[in-house]
Chain A
Amino acid sequence: MTLLLILAILPVVTALICLILKSWKVQYALTLSSSLIHLAVSFGIFIGYFTPGTTFMFGFDALSKLFLLVLSNTYFWIVLVSYSYIKLPVESDSTSGKKYYFMLMNFYLVANTAAVLSNHFGMYWVAVEMTTLSVAPLVYYSRSEESLVAMWKYLFIVSVGIAFAFIGILFLALSAKGTILDGEQLYFAEYMKNAATLSPIWLKASFIFIFVGLSTKIGIAPMHSGDIDATSSAPSPIAALFSGTLRITALLGVLRMFQIIRPTGSFEFAKGLLIIGGLFSIFVAFIYMFRVTDYKKMVAYSSVEHLGIIALGIGTGGIAFIGALYHIVFNSMTKVGLFLCAGKIHLKYNSRNVSDIFSVLNRLPWTGWIFFISFFAVSGIPPFGFFFSEIRIFEGVFFSDRPYLLIIAMIFLLFIFINMGHTVFKMLYKRGKNEKVSIESEKFDIFHFASISILIVMVLIAVFNPAVLADNITSIANDFGILP
C-alpha cells in the first residue's frame, strides 16, 4: 500500500505543486526528485527488495514489474533533460506550453503507472485514457499550427481507438455470460483462471477490438498514422516518451488479453493476428524508408518497425517471445538517444527536412556521433541490445511452424537498414552548398550525457544479461505458459 502511494500519489502531489509554482527551476527540481524516487522504488520492486501486495485494482506480477521499471527508467532520463529543453528557444507562442510542461509530465507518470499496475480491465482502460489526455497537450508544446494538427489527429484517432478497446472489454464481459465470471468484476487474474470457460467467439471479437483499438497507441499498422504525426511533431523528449513508454503501456493491454486467450482454442487466432500486425508494421516502415523526407518521422517509423518486431516475437512465441520482452526493454532505451539527437539537429538547422540537413558531424560533432551510434543501435548492430533481442526473435521464428516469415521479415529489415542508413549518412556527411570544411565546436550538454549514459547502460544489460532481468523475463514466459 505504501509503495503504491509513493508510486501514484507522489507524482500527483508534484503535479499539483507544479501547477501552483511559477519557477521552472523549482518545478524541474521537484519533478526530477519525484522521478528519481519513482525509479528507486520501481527498481527496488524489480529486484525484489520491496515485496508489494495487491491493493484495490492494482497489483504486481512479473510483467508489471518489468514494464514499471521500463517506464520509470525512460521517464527519469527524459525529465533529466527537460529543464534544458524548455530553456531552448522554440516558436514564439510556446510560453503557455512550457507553463504546464512539468505538471503534465507528472500526470503522465501517474496515468502510466496506474495502467501498468492495474489488474482490472476497467482500471487499465481509464488509465490508458488518462495517458492520452495528459500527453496530447505536450504534443502541442510549441503552439505551432503543425503541432495543433498533430495533436488533434492523435487525440481523435486514439480516442476512437480507446472507444474500440472499450467495445473489446464489453465483448470480454459478454464472453463470460453463463460462466462463474458472469456479472463479476473484470480482474485479469480471474479471467486467466477461468479462460477455458469463456465463449470463444466473443473472446476472439474481444481480442480483435482491443488489439485494433490499442494499436492506435502502440503504433501497429495500419492504425499508426496519428501516432507517427504526434511523435514527429512533439518535442524530442516527449517523442522519446511516446516511443519508449506510451506504446509499451498500450501493448500491455494486448499482452493481458493474450494471456487470457492462451489456454483457449482461440490462441492460434490471436497469434496469427499479432504476426500479421507485426509484419505489416515492418512492411509500412520498409515502404516509408524508400522516400524519407522528414528525419523525425523516419525515427518515428523506426518505432513502428520495432513495435512490429515485438508483435512478431510475441505472436511467434517460444524463444521469440522472450526476445520480444528484451526488445521492449532495449527499444525504450535506444529511442531516447535517437530522439534527443534528432531534436538537437532540428534546433540547429531549424528544419525537419532531410534535404536541409548537411555536415552534422562537422557542425554538431557530439550530436552527430551520438546520432550515428544510435543509428547502429537501432539497426541491431552488436553489442547493442537490439542485436541480442532480434537474434532471439529470429531464432524463434526460424524454428516455428512458419519459418518463411523470417525471410520476409529479413528482406524488409535489410532494406530498412540500407535506406535509413543512406538518409543518416547523407545528413551526417553530405556537404552543404559552398560549405567550407571546418569542424565547429559543440558544447557537451545534458542531452549528450543522457543519450550516452543510456546507451552504455543498454550495452551493459545486453552483454551481461543480469540474472534479475533474465529471471523476471523467464517468470513472465512462465506466466504466459510460453517456454523456449
Chain B
Amino acid sequence: MQNVLSILFCLSLFYITVTSNVRAYISVLRFQGILLVILMILPFIPDLSIFALILPLTMLIVKVILVPQYMTKIMNDLNMKRDIESTIQQFNFLLLVCFSMAIIFLVSNYLSKSTDIAVIPFATGFSAVTVGIYIIIFRKKLLVHVAGFLVLENGIFLFGLAVASEFPVIIELGSLLDIFAVVFLMGIAINKISSTIFTNDRRIQRRDP
C-alpha cells in the first residue's frame, strides 16, 4: 500500500512538472497532502489511538485545507495571473526531472542493498525534494516558489516516513517547516507581490491598489 501511494505521489510530481497553471499546483499540493495523511495513518491502523491521529489530523488541516485555501485566496485577492512564469521550456523541464528521478531511483535501489529502506517511498521523497528545488530555480513567480518549497517539504515528509517511521518525533519536527511556508505566504499577501521581487533593476513589482 505504501508503494502504491508513493507511486501516486510520484505521478503528481510529473503532473506538476508539465502544468503551467498555478491553480494546478495548488490542487497537486492538496492531493499530496491527502496521500501523506494516509501514509501516516497506515502503520498505526492495527492499534489506532487518538495520539497516533494527532499529527495526521493536523497535517490534514494545514496541508490539505488551510495552506491551499490561503494560496487560492492570495491568488484571488491579488488578481494573480494563472501562468507560472517559467524560465525554462516545459519539455526541457520534464527531461530534467525524468533524468534526475531516474538517477535517484537507481541510487536508492543500490543503497537499499546495504541498508533496510523502502526504495519506492524513499526515492519518491527524494525526487520530490529535487523537483521542489527545480521549481524554485526555474519559476519566477513567488507564489510558485512557495509551492516548490511545499513540494520539497512534502518530499522530506515522505522521505522521513520511509526512513524513520518508527520514530515519529523526528517526522513531527519536519512539520515545523510549514511555519516557513506560512511566513512566505503572509509576506506575499502583506506586500501584495503578484509576481516576483527579483527583477533586473531589483525593484518590486507590486500590484496597484
Contact residues of A with B, CB < 8 Å?
Answer: 122, 125-126, 129, 133, 136, 145-146, 148-149, 152-153, 155-156, 159-160, 162-163, 166-167, 169-171, 173-174, 177-178, 183, 185-186, 199, 201-202
| Chain B residues with CB below 8 A from A152, complex form | 142, 187, 197
**B70 to nearest A CB, angstroms?**
17
Cβ-neighbour of A178 out of B116, B160, B163 (below 8 A) = B116
Assess the A129–B187 pair: CB atoms within 8 A. no
Assess the B169–A170 pair: CB atoms within 8 A. no
| Chain A residues with CB below 8 A from B169, complex form | 122, 185
Assess the B197–A149 pair: CB atoms within 8 A. yes
A-B contact pairs, 15 of them (CB 8 A): A122-B173, A129-B180, A145-B203, A149-B197, A149-B204, A152-B187, A160-B152, A162-B177, A163-B129, A163-B152, A166-B156, A171-B163, A177-B116, A183-B166, A201-B114
Assess the A155–B164 pair: CB atoms within 8 A. no
Contact residues of B with A, CB < 8 Å?
Answer: 111, 114-117, 129, 133, 136, 142, 145, 149, 152-153, 156, 159-160, 163-164, 166-167, 169-170, 173-174, 176-177, 179-180, 183-184, 187, 191, 197-198, 202-204
| Chain A residues with CB below 8 A from B177, complex form | 129, 159, 162-163, 166
Assess the B117–A174 pair: CB atoms within 8 A. yes
The chain B residue with its CB closest to the CB of A205 is B111
Question: In the bound complex, what is the Cα–Cα distance between A153 and B199 (angstroms)?
Answer: 13
The chain A residue with its CB closest to the CB of B129 is A167
Question: In the bound complex, what is the Cα–Cα distance between A444 and B78 (angstroms)?
Answer: 49
| Chain B residues with CB below 8 A from A136, complex form | 183
Question: In the bound complex, what is the Cα–Cα distance between A152 and B197 (angstroms)?
Answer: 9
The chain B residue with its CB closest to the CB of A164 is B129
Assess the A146–B173 pair: CB atoms within 8 A. no
**Best-buried of B111, B152, B180, B191 by chain A (most CB within 10 Å):** B180
Cβ-neighbour of B114 out of A148, A159, A166, A199 (below 8 A) = A199
**A148 to nearest B CB, angstroms?**
6
Question: In the bound complex, what is the Cα–Cα distance between A25 and B102 (angstroms)?
Answer: 60
Cβ-neighbour of B173 out of A126, A159, A201 (below 8 A) = A126
Interface of A (DSSP majority class) = helix
Question: In the bound complex, what is the Cα–Cα distance between A167 and B173 (angstroms)?
Answer: 12
| Chain A residues with CB below 8 A from B176, complex form | 126, 129
Per CB-CB distance, the 3 closest pairs between chain A and chain B, nearest first, are: A159-B180, A174-B163, A173-B164
Question: In the bound complex, what is the Cα–Cα distance between A15 and B167 (angstroms)?
Answer: 34
Question: In the bound complex, what is the Cα–Cα distance between A169 and B156 (angstroms)?
Answer: 11
Assess the A167–B164 pair: CB atoms within 8 A. no
Assess the A153–B198 pair: CB atoms within 8 A. yes
**A162 to nearest B CB, angstroms?**
7
| Chain A residues with CB below 8 A from B159, complex form | 167, 170
Known: A145-B203, A201-B115. 5 other contacts (CB 8 A): A129-B176, A145-B202, A146-B202, A152-B187, A171-B163
Assess the A202–B115 pair: CB atoms within 8 A. yes
Question: In the bound complex, what is the Cα–Cα distance between A183 and B114 (angstroms)?
Answer: 18
**A296 to nearest B CB, angstroms?**
15
Question: In the bound complex, what is the Cα–Cα distance between A146 and B159 (angstroms)?
Answer: 37
Question: In the bound complex, what is the Cα–Cα distance between A167 and B159 (angstroms)?
Answer: 8
Question: In the bound complex, what is the Cα–Cα distance between A192 and B183 (angstroms)?
Answer: 36
**Best-buried of A122, A149, A160, A199 by chain B (most CB within 10 Å):** A160
| Chain A residues with CB below 8 A from B191, complex form | 148
Cβ-neighbour of A149 out of B117, B160, B180, B198 (below 8 A) = B198
The chain B residue with its CB closest to the CB of A202 is B115
Check A148/B197 contact, CB under 8 A, given A155-B180, A159-B149. yes
Question: In the bound complex, what is the Cα–Cα distance between A88 and B34 (angstroms)?
Answer: 51
**A150 to nearest B CB, angstroms?**
10
Assess the A167–B183 pair: CB atoms within 8 A. no
Check A160/B116 contact, CB under 8 A, given A166-B156, A166-B173, A167-B129. no
| Chain B residues with CB below 8 A from A178, complex form | 116
Question: In the bound complex, what is the Cα–Cα distance between A167 and B180 (angstroms)?
Answer: 16
Assess the B156–A163 pair: CB atoms within 8 A. yes
Question: In the bound complex, what is the Cα–Cα distance between A99 and B173 (angstroms)?
Answer: 31
**Best-buried of A122, A125, A152 by chain B (most CB within 10 Å):** A152
Check A170/B115 contact, CB under 8 A, given A155-B184, A156-B149, A159-B149. no
Assess the B170–A186 pair: CB atoms within 8 A. yes
Assess the B116–A170 pair: CB atoms within 8 A. no
**B141 to nearest A CB, angstroms?**
13
Assess the A163–B153 pair: CB atoms within 8 A. yes
The chain A residue with its CB closest to the CB of B197 is A149
Assess the B170–A201 pair: CB atoms within 8 A. no
Question: In the bound complex, what is the Cα–Cα distance between A156 and B173 (angstroms)?
Answer: 19
**B106 to nearest A CB, angstroms?**
15
Question: In the bound complex, what is the Cα–Cα distance between A185 and B115 (angstroms)?
Answer: 20
Assess the A173–B170 pair: CB atoms within 8 A. yes
**Best-buried of A126, A129, A159, A177 by chain B (most CB within 10 Å):** A159
Question: In the bound complex, what is the Cα–Cα distance between A152 and B183 (angstroms)?
Answer: 10
| Chain B residues with CB below 8 A from A145, complex form | 197, 202-204
Question: In the bound complex, what is the Cα–Cα distance between A125 and B170 (angstroms)?
Answer: 10
**A351 to nearest B CB, angstroms?**
16
Cβ-neighbour of A199 out of B115, B166, B174 (below 8 A) = B115
Cβ-neighbour of B183 out of A133, A162, A169, A183 (below 8 A) = A133
